[in-house]
Structures are given as structure tokens and as C-alpha cells.
Amino acid sequence: MTEAQKVPDVRKTVTVDVPADRAFAIFAERPLEWFPERHVFVEDRVSLTIEPFEGGRYYEVGADGTEIAWGTVVEWNPSKRIVLTWRVGPHWQPIFDDEKASFIEVDFEPAGPGRTTVALTHSGLHRHGEIAPQIHAALDGPSPGDTLARYEQVVARVSAAAKAVPVTLVNRFQLTGTAEEFEQVFAATSAFFAAQPGFIEHTLHRRLGDPASYVNIARWADNASLRAAVAQPEFQPHSAALRALAVSSPELFEARLRVTAADAG
């Protein structure tokens, strides 16, 4: 056995609070979110895809359309295991030959009710030849490592979103300024909110027969998203501008019943 073939595997683990099938799906379907940003072959990466079958590719696409594969799907066993080749060459540049690529083995093991231990192993590092020891040194270190740490964050974020309860903000405004000024300021405020995570929609209504009375109905993915948005320092000028033109009375509601015209059938 040569010195290069003695290069050991690098294995790291993390335990996440989702069942194995969900842990697998998040890993397989959201690689762009957990893949380390500094590990990139293209310029301005816009997508990263793992094709869900043995023999498929996992590849990234740059903003200019350039497409480079990181490797091939060697094993695809939903909820249990994924094995990919890892085509990294000298100076961390891509190679285009699986014969010179090592492997990324990802195993999903149940760790109790609703929990999964995810193990990511870089194996066959000797296949990189002379650079194998340097690659091992770069990968070696304590768990969970950068990749699994990012993956854990994605799992937590996706799980939180799944548990979120949408809320509706009903905010009544009695104008002290002109309707034209108020609607202009409110439009700018709405544009700010529309760019915030968790925002769904705003609908501003004016009371018939009372042009100084408005109601805004705003839908958010959850209360935490709304609170985070109004806590932004950038919101304060919008808030001050609205206060200068109207007195508001905001209240939060959660949906209890929804009926549409289609339901009548």
C-alpha cells in the first residue's frame, strides 16, 4: 500500500430534529442552501442540483450559464444513504474524471423519535493522488464541520417555517394629514415590508363615505417575521412618516375559517 492509499477517511456527524426521510429530503433538495459558499467552481453560483437517481449528476450553474459538475450520484437510497463522487483536483479546481474523484458518503440514521443523525464521510481520498494528504488536512477537524453546520441551520429554518402559524395584521388609520400624502407614504412603507422575509401581502382599504378613515389588512407567514420586520432600523423612518399623517390602531388576528366562491359548489 502506498503512502497515498493510507490517507484515512474524514467523518463528521450532526443530529437534527427531524425524521430521517425529512432529513434526507432537505439534504437532497436544498444543496444550494447548505453547500459552503467558498466551495464553488463557477462564477456567481445561482443553482446547485443533485439529480435524484444513481448515475445522475450533482452540478452547479453560474450566473452566466456556465455549468460544472461536482460529481456523480453513485448510490441513491431515500431516507437512508447518498453517495456522490467528489471531483476536486490540484488547487481545488474541478476535474472531469470520476476515476480520480473521491467519495462523499452521507448516511441518515434514526436517533430517537423525530431525530436523525447525519454522518458525512469523505472516503477514498487516496484517489486524489499526490494531493490526497493536503485534501485530508483541509477536511479534517471536529464535527460538525462547515458543511453539516450549514445543513443543520437549513433544517432548523425549514422546520420552523413548517410550524409557523400565519397571522393577519388589521391596522386602522384615522388621518390627520391629506389622503394623497398618506397613500404615498403607505405605498413606500408597503414596498419596504414586501422585501422582508415572511411578508405575504398588504391590502389598504378606505371607508366608503369617510375619506379620512383607512384599514390596512396585512398577511404574514408568522408573528416572528412581522416582529423582525418592524424591528429593522430601516422601518423607523416609515413609521415616523405614517405617525405624522395618521393615528393608527393595529391588532393581530389568526385565521379560523376561510371560505371561497369555489366552496359554494
The burial class, CB within 10 Å (0-12 / 13-18 / 19+), for 20 is buried
Give pTM, 2 decimals. Answer: 0.68
CA angle 43, 51, 198 (to 5 degrees): 70
The pLDDT score that the predictor gives to residue 265 is 60
- The answer to whether residue 1 scores a pLDDT higher than 70 is no
Residue 164: band (very low, low, confident or very high) from pLDDT cuts 50, 70, 90: confident
> Domain 4-163 - what CATH class?
alpha beta
Q: What is the pLDDT of residues 63-74, one digit of tens each?
A: 999 999 999 999
**Residue 9 pLDDT > 50, yes or no?**
yes
Q: Confidence band (pLDDT; 50, 70, 90) for 5?
A: low
Distance CA 222, CA 135 (A): 44
For residues 5-32, average pLDDT: 94
Q: Is the pLDDT of residue 229 over 60?
A: yes
Residues of the chain with CATH 3.30.530.20: 4-163
Asked if 23 contacts 155 with a C-beta cutoff of 8 angstroms, the reply is yes
pLDDT tens digits for range 140-162: 999 999 999 999 999 998 998 88
Which regions of the chain carry the CATH code 3.30.70.100?
Answer: 167-264
pLDDT at 2 over 60: no
Residue 96's identity, in one-letter code, is F
Q: Which CATH architecture has domain 167-264?
A: 2-Layer Sandwich (3.30)
Percent of the chain at pLDDT exceeding 90: 85
pLDDT of residue 255: 87
> How confident is the model over 90-125, as pLDDT tens digits?
999 999 989 999 999 999 999 999 999 999 999 999
Average pLDDT value over all residues in the chain = 93
